[in-house]
Structure 1
């Protein structure tokens, strides 16, 4: 088990943050958790320690948002997401982490800028099977590598203008399945060694704290303000990923 106090100094707030995000804001700001934990340990170890905790959060989230998710296209999104997990597993040992961060960050920022620069959209964007498959696959891919599946999925979900509880509930269901599927490749890649699993167990009690705090916040924020916050979070996350990516270039 990790005993370095510096690790827990970054890991504890990271887990609280990802819980708030998953419980109330559709997993957006939770993308910062892996980079935060990676300040103290290697990126792959940070991802391995966080995954069991994310799975525990998913169980709590499924209970909190039971029955409140987009039912009509969730199977399509999950199919795309699982394909993305498979592609991410194949790329795990080859892809450059810094370039991945730059790509995701640049895309997240450009998406928000495009949405803000466009005329106000009164109507929700209709469902597109092609877009749903593409963005859910991208979400599964980036989620497998650094638990960064929020921005690609939000590109598809945010323009749909779902009820805020349905929006969050849909992300909860999607990532509950995707994170459960990711357990297989993480085991196959040998990331779940005893030290990582013991550290995950020590941090696991923080999972319900973050999730329930996120649910509490979501229920008290008006719908329009909720979506403005989601876009702001996506912008900040994109900037952070760009910074980390360029800082990590060799």
Structure 2
């Protein structure tokens, strides 16, 4: 039986491009910057429709979440999660309700502008002595927006970072908290995605084929983060926020025009 008979992979190019996308997303899931995570669907969209790419990627993300949860199982900040997770559930519900009338491109553009502004604020603060401050109550705002944008545009990462990065957690604690937050968000998204009929058998078999690479890439990303001190981790992560912001702005503008 040919591979194309039971998976979505109709050509070798589709397989190689998907392997590249999964590798990049896996490094991000291990903790190595959110910029790589945003490359998943765009890279896969070079050889397949974006909706199909997103459908294949979600089960892979769940596999990666399981691996990441095990790797970072001892690291979490409950203060962040107690506020942001309930808020994210509200955002996901709003995104599901508004999916039919929400512009993916506009959401990406707005999130990109906010993320780029946040990174610029941090960069200026290093010279002006006024860095972004952590305000616990703002977790309700950024958590709900992160849930909404994660559902409608797979772009929740920058909003989580805007809330949590100013807290200056230990890199391992920050990564473990991020892993729990997005593992829960991705798991909750399964219900509405399944209701939309996106998880057909070829999609699930295709995702299963990517499991070995998903595990390896997550572990590589986690291994790199474990060796980073705060003096390297935070400038690196804020730089990733800026790159994500530019990428989302570009995606939003090209999607609108």
Q: TM-score, normalised by structure 1?
A: 0.92
Greater CA drift, 159-168 or 134-143:
134-143
- Out of 228, 232, 242, the position equivalent to 2:235 is 228
Q: Which of 160, 163, 173 lines up with 1:156 in the alignment?
A: 163
Q: Who is 1:66 aligned against?
A: 73
How far does residue 93 in structure 1 lie from its aligned partner after superposition?
Answer: 2.5
Choose 1 or 2 for highest CA Rg.
Answer: 2
Residue 128 of structure 1 pairs with residue 128 of structure 2:
no
For residues 12-27 of structure 1, the aligned pairs below 5 Å read 12-25=19-32, 27=34
Q: 1:132 to 1:220 in 2, by over 3 A?
A: same
Q: In structure 2, the residue corresponding to 1:248 is in which secondary structure?
A: helix
Which of 131, 139, 154 does residue 146 from structure 2 map onto? 139
| In structure 2, C-alpha distance between the alignment counterparts of 1:226 and 1:78, rounded to whole Å | 24
Structure 1 residue 28, shift from structure 2 partner: 4.7
- Whole-Å separation in 1 of the counterparts to 2:145 and 2:39: 18
Describe the SS at the equivalent of 2:100.
coil
Moved over 4 A (4+): none
Distance 1:245 1:126, change over 3 A: closer
Rounded Cα–Cα distance in structure 1 between residues aligned with 2:44 and 2:99: 19
Unpaired runs of 5+ in structure 2?
Answer: 1-6
State which of 14, 31, 50 in structure 2 corresponds to 1:43.
50
Deviations 1:190-235 (A, max 9, x none): 1112222221112222111111001110012221111111111111
Separation in structure 1 between the aligned mates of residue 43 and residue 177 of structure 2, nearest angstrom:
26
Shift of residue 29, structure 1, vs aligned partner: 3.2
Match of 1:83 among 81, 90, 101: 90
Taking structure 2 as the reference length, what is the TM-score of the superposition? 0.90
Deviation, 1:181, is 0.5
Report the equivalent of 1:34.
41
Tell me if structure 1 keeps the 8 A contact 2:107–2:252: yes
Matched, 1:209 2:177: no
| CA offset digits 1:41-86 (Å, max 9, x no partner) | 2222221111111111111111111121102231221101111111
List runs of 5+ in structure 1 lacking aligned partners.
none
Deviates more, 1:163-172 or 1:105-114: 105-114
CA RMSD, aligned part only? 1.8
- Whether the 8 Å CA contact 1:109–1:238 is kept in 2: the answer is yes
| Count of residue correspondences | 248
